[in-house]
């Protein structure tokens, strides 16, 4: 099964309401979309989040650096293709744009492999596609126009519970610590003793003392409730700082969503810089690299809780026993809005705090070409 073409597109999907995390404002999300065609008529699709602007740069990386290296290659040889692109791209960048673009292409190749076998990716990898995959409702962003942040969080937790979720995550770091503490208290008031709450700082704090002061206050207001995890309190490059927090904080430390390749994760594991590793298949190098990192984490008894991309991560979680949960965004929140550009029938279903695999071959999604054309025209 030879690769005959590789195409890449950038599509920007605007948010209905401007929103913030601790480190940036978000008006739209850009996605890199990949289509791989083979000489046997199998089409693989892949995607990755490319940020809030600049998506065309990822398209150029695919067209100029990746596609020429893999057209004509055996589509089944994904590990060989990955190694070739990484080696040839060393001067272009061992991290950053190249690896994110490679992630999307790699997902498309695995999609094609599983489709050629007539199997969902989870089954192709040896997993069970019939069992629900545990998931949590993610959100708690800072929306423009919020007059009462604590009240907004409370209402969102109630929505999550109405949709069957018992586990949740909210943002911290964009407000003073006291303000975020109020939001945490509001969330826990709704959750009570029936679920868990994780908090995500998105690299908000400058150093260990600042991050430590914040979590101490958050733990105080949480009282008898154990915060599920404290996510990315520091810059991802501050591995020693995260390791220090692991040793000093009772709340588990989670990080890894911006890290790329097995070599980045080796540093996190060797330095004991995380209690929970957050792999992102669209960032770290695709499914090929995800499987390697997940296996390394399992060897060190480290659980994984993948970041975003529930459509693909649910497939991987079904085949990887050290995945504790996947991150899910209810689409109507319009925060992570990827499913606005996939067909309605291939959107990920959820119920009772879990996501449900469909049994469709490959990664299980199909692009909605009408919606992609609509957003592309708007973007243009």
CATH code: domain of residue 71: 3.30.390.10
Q: How many domains does the chain have?
A: 2
The verdict on residue 15 lying in a domain is: yes
The verdict on residue 322 lying in a domain is: yes
Q: Which of 59, 93, 118 is the last residue before a domain boundary?
A: 118
Q: What is the pLDDT of residue 327?
A: 98
Are residues 322 and 190 part of one domain? yes
Are residues 168 and 109 part of one domain? no
For residue 188, give the CATH number of its domain. 3.20.20.120
Q: Which of 118, 139, 165 is the last residue before a domain boundary?
A: 118
Measure the CA–CA gap between 232 and 201, rounded to whole angstroms: 6
Are residues 200 and 183 part of one domain? yes
CA 108 and chain centroid, separation: 17
Cα Rg for the chain, rounded, in angstroms?
Answer: 20
Question: SS in 3 state form for the chain?
Answer: CEEEEEEEEEEEEEEEEEEECCCCEEEEEEEEEEEEEECCCCEEEEEEEEECCCHHHHHHHHHHHHHHHHCCCECCCHHHHHHHHHHHCCCCCCCCHHHHHHHHHHHHHHHHHHHHCCCEHHHHCCCCCCCCEEEEEECCCEECCCCCHHHHHHHHHHHHHHCCCCEEEEECCCCCHHHHHHHHHHHHHHHCCCCEEEEECCCCCCCHHHHHHHHHHHHHHHCCCCCCCEECCCCCCCHHHHHHHHHHCCCCEEECCCCCHHHHHHHHHHCCCCCEECCCCCCCCHHHHHHHHHHHHHHCCCCECCCCCHHHHHHHHCCCCCECCEEECCHHHCCCCHHHHECHHHCCEEECCEEECCCCCECCCCECHHHHHHHHHHHC
CA neighbours closer than 13 Å in the CB half-sphere of residue 28: 14
Are residues 184 and 151 part of one domain? yes
Question: CA quadruple 188, 191, 196, 200: dihedral positive or negative?
Answer: negative
Q: What is the pLDDT of residue 30?
A: 97
Q: Which residues contact 346 (CB under 8 A, 6 or more apart)?
A: 358, 360, 364, 365, 366
The verdict on residue 325 lying in a domain is: yes
Are residues 139 and 82 part of one domain? no
Are residues 144 and 290 part of one domain? yes
Are residues 153 and 32 part of one domain? no
Q: What is the pLDDT of residue 380?
A: 67
The verdict on residue 362 lying in a domain is: no
Are residues 197 and 304 part of one domain? yes
The verdict on residue 23 lying in a domain is: yes
Are residues 289 and 147 part of one domain? yes
The verdict on residue 378 lying in a domain is: no
The verdict on residue 371 lying in a domain is: no
Are residues 179 and 143 part of one domain? yes
Q: What is the pLDDT of residue 372?
A: 98
Are residues 283 and 257 part of one domain? yes
**Consecutive 10-residue averages of pLDDT for the chain (380 residues):** 98 95 94 98 98 93 98 98 97 94 98 98 97 98 92 98 98 98 98 95 98 98 96 97 98 98 98 98 98 98 98 98 98 97 98 97 98 88
Residue range of the domain that includes 23: 3-118
Q: Tokens for 304?
A: 């994984």
Q: Which of 95, 118, 141 is the last residue before a domain boundary?
A: 118
Contact 246, 272 (CB under 8 A): yes
Q: Which residues contact 374 (CB under 8 A, 6 or more apart)?
A: none
Are residues 19 and 84 part of one domain? yes
Measure the CA–CA gap between 168 and 150, rounded to whole angstroms: 15
The verdict on residue 372 lying in a domain is: no
């Amino acid at each position: 099964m030879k690769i005959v073409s590789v195409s890449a597109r950038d599509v920007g999907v605007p948010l209905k309401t401007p929103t913030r995390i601790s480190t940036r404002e978000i008006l739209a999300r850009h996605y890199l979309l990949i289509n791989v065609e083979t000489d046997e008529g199998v089409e693989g699709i892949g995607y990755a989040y490319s940020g809030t602007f600049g998506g065309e740069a990822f398209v150029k990386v695919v067209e100029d650096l990746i596609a020429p290296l893999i057209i004509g290659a055996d589509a089944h040889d994904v590990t060989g293709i990955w190694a070739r692109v990484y080696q040839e791209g060393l001067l272009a960048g061992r991290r950053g744009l190249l690896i994110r673009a490679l992630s999307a292409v790699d997902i498309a190749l695995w999609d094609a492999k599983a489709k050629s076998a007539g199997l969902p990716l989870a089954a192709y990898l040896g997993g069970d596609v019939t069992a629900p995959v545990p998931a949590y409702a993610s959100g708690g962003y800072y929306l423009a126009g919020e007059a009462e942040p604590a009240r907004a969080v409370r209402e969102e937790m109630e929505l999550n519970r109405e949709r069957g979720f018992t586990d949740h995550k909210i943002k911290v770091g964009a407000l003073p610590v006291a303000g975020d503490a109020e939001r945490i208290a509001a969330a826990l008031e709704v959750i009570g003793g029936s679920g868990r709450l994780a908090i995500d700082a998105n690299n908000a704090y400058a150093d260990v003392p600042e991050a430590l002061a914040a979590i101490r206050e958050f733990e105080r207001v949480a009282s008898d409730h154990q915060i599920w995890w404290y996510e990315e309190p520091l810059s991802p490059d501050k591995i020693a700082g995260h390791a220090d927090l692991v040793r000093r904080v009772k709340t588990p430390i989670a990080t890894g969503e911006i890290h790329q390749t097995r070599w980045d994760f080796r540093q996190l594991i060797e330095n004991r810089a995380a209690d929970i590793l957050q792999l992102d298949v669209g960032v770290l190098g695709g499914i090929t690299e995800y499987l390697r990192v997940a296996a390394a984490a399992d060897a060190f008894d480290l659980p994984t809780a993948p970041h975003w991309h529930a459509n693909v991560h649910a497939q991987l979680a079904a085949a990887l026993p050290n995945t504790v949960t996947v991150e899910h965004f209810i689409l109507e929140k319009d925060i992570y809005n990827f499913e606005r550009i996939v067909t309605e029938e291939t959107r990920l279903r959820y119920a009772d705090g879990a996501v449900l695999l469909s049994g469709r071959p490959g990664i299980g999604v199909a692009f909605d070409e009408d919606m992609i054309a609509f957003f592309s025209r708007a973007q243009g």
